[in-house]
Amino acid sequence: MSIWGPEPRAHPRSLALPAPRGPIGERLFAALRREPEVGVRLASVDLPRSPLFDDDFQLALYVLYELHYARVAGVDERWEWNADLLAARVVLEETFERAIAEAAGEPEQCGPEEVAEQLQRLVAKDSGPPLSRYLETQGTIAEMVEHVIHRSAYQLKEADPHSWAIPRLSGAAKAALLEIQFDEYGEGRAERMHSSIFAATMAALGLDPGYGAYVPALPGITLATVNLMSFFGLHRRRRGALVGHLAAFEMTSSLPNRRYGNAWRRLGFGREVTAFYDEHVEADAVHESIAAWDLAGGLARAEPELVRDIQVGARALLGLEALWAGHLLACWQRGASSLLDEATAAPHTNWSASRATSPNRPDSAAAARWRSAPLRSTSRRAASSAPAAPTRSA
């Protein structure tokens, strides 16, 4: 027992240590099961040349970041600040940071007063894969459920990665960030926190809303989109990128979430499932202006040396989201699951790829109709048939 008292029996945010997916995870997870005095090294492990899609790499980095967010079952919490483990994480982060820079590309030159307008232009010309439009018009229940499972890695802790920036900002930028985060955290009402609303959506679909329940089923590129936020958030030197990421996130959220809500309504589901998406249509429409002009613009004016990093953060978001959306659409086009393990992904509920016929069917009736049916569709439409949508896939 530590000086702080006995170990808690349960924790509301607890993550099961997943099975490793390769040599990186095997080395790190084996160490995490031991006492934190035991060192860990990655010097002899070959790192992937393309880490964004590497399942082993991204899962290992995700678990290391989760030590700062959650209780990892069976892992001594002193590992969070173990010097050897942090040194091993740096090895992964150096590779990850290079991949992020490549995905982001070189930003345009602009002054502090032009940052907000430049972000608006960047978002307007984004030509990422049309995931939200595809799901709105053609997506099956199976595909929508997979989309929810993918997003659970972030949505169940929504706003937390960006909150690392709060003590690292000041003045107008800090005030703008707090205004956005206050809404994200439900304006002081736990049941209205966006993470809580998303958990309720998962429960309404018969999915497990437990924190990290579907991490074993998530491919590397999905985990990379979450690791991107954690990387920016945990490094003060990348606070500009974190702000740029959040600004672009808010600026590209409202329309896709409207489409996802429409998709669920088309499939016969109601408020119990669509509440999360409808909430973001309204909230993020307001946040868009605050994020661009007050948050990103305010930080650029206060710290002009961060202008480039703000743009890199926004471009990195769009770049990784495009890769992730492309993965989902490519899998569905060939009739495959976009998840690693369907059995892990749907332990409680399977879903038919057929569509509900009544847009007004209540949630319980719509859900009941599709339980116990095959998860995967036997008939797929080509993803390329969906029209382009210049917005983040959300």
Give the mean pLDDT of 6-12: 52
What's the CATH code of the domain at 285? 1.20.910.10
Residue 83 has pLDDT above 50, yes or no: yes
Which residues, 6+ apart, have CB-to-CB distance to 65 below 8 Å? 227, 230, 231, 234
Same domain, 157 and 182: yes
Res 3 pLDDT > 50: no
In one letter, which amino acid is 388?
A
Name the residue type at position 19.
Answer: A
DSSP state of 19: P
Q: Are residues 207 and 293 in the same domain?
A: yes
Compute the average pLDDT of residues 158-165.
97
The single residue listed with the structure tokens 């206050």 is 182
- Assess whether pLDDT exceeds 70 at residue 378: no
Report pLDDT digits (tens) over 333-359.
999 999 997 656 554 445 443 333 333
What proportions of the chain, in percent to the nearest 5, are helix, strand and coil? 65, 0, 35
167, part of any domain: yes
Question: 98 and 130 in one domain?
Answer: no
User: Domain containing 51: what range?
Assistant: 14-102
Residue 394 falls inside a structural domain: no
Does 201 share its domain with 339? yes
Same domain, 169 and 293: yes
Is 121 inside any structural domain? yes
Task: Confirm whether 392 is domain-assigned.
Answer: no
- Claim to verify: residue 90 and residue 133 sit in the same structural domain: no
Verify that 192 and 278 share a domain, yes or no.
Answer: yes
Q: Annotate 252-301 with DSSP letters as a single string.
A: TTHHHHHHHHHHHHHTT--HHHHHHHHHHHHHHHHHHHIIIIIIIHHHHH
Pair 176, 213 in one domain = yes
Residue ending a domain, choose from 102, 124, 154? 102
Within 13 Å and on the Cβ side, how many CA atoms surround 120? 11
100, 61 contact by CB (below 8 A): no
Q: For 219-228, 358-367, 368-377, 379-388, which range has the lowest pLDDT when averaged over its residues?
A: 379-388
- Domain annotation covers residue 270: yes
Q: Is residue 62 part of a domain?
A: yes
Q: pLDDT for 94-105, tens place per residue?
A: 999 999 999 999
Tokens of 216: 């074993």
At 22-68, the pLDDT tens digits run: 999 999 999 999 999 777 877 678 899 999 999 999 999 999 999 99
**Residue of higher predicted confidence among 383 and 211:** 211
The CA–CA distances, whole Å, from 229 to 218, 225, 276, 282, 302 equal: 17, 7, 21, 23, 22
In single-letter form, the type of residue at position 150 comes to: H
User: Do residue 98 and residue 118 come from a single domain?
Assistant: no
Q: How confident is the model at residue 134 (pLDDT cuts 50, 70, 90)?
A: very high
Query: Within a domain: residue 4?
Result: no
Q: How high is the pLDDT of residue 356?
A: 36
Q: Are residues 18 and 129 in the same domain?
A: no
Output the six-digit token pair for 266.
């088309």
Kindly state whether residue 6 falls inside one of the protein's structural domains.
no
Same domain, 288 and 368: yes
The mean pLDDT of 252-280, rounded to a whole number, is 95
C-alpha–C-alpha distance, residues 252 and 285, integer Å: 9
Number of other CB atoms surrounding residue 68 within 10 Å = 14
Q: Are residues 157 and 294 in the same domain?
A: yes
Tell me the three state secondary structure of residue 44.
coil
Boundary residue ending a domain (39, 70, 102): 102
3-state secondary structure of 296: helix
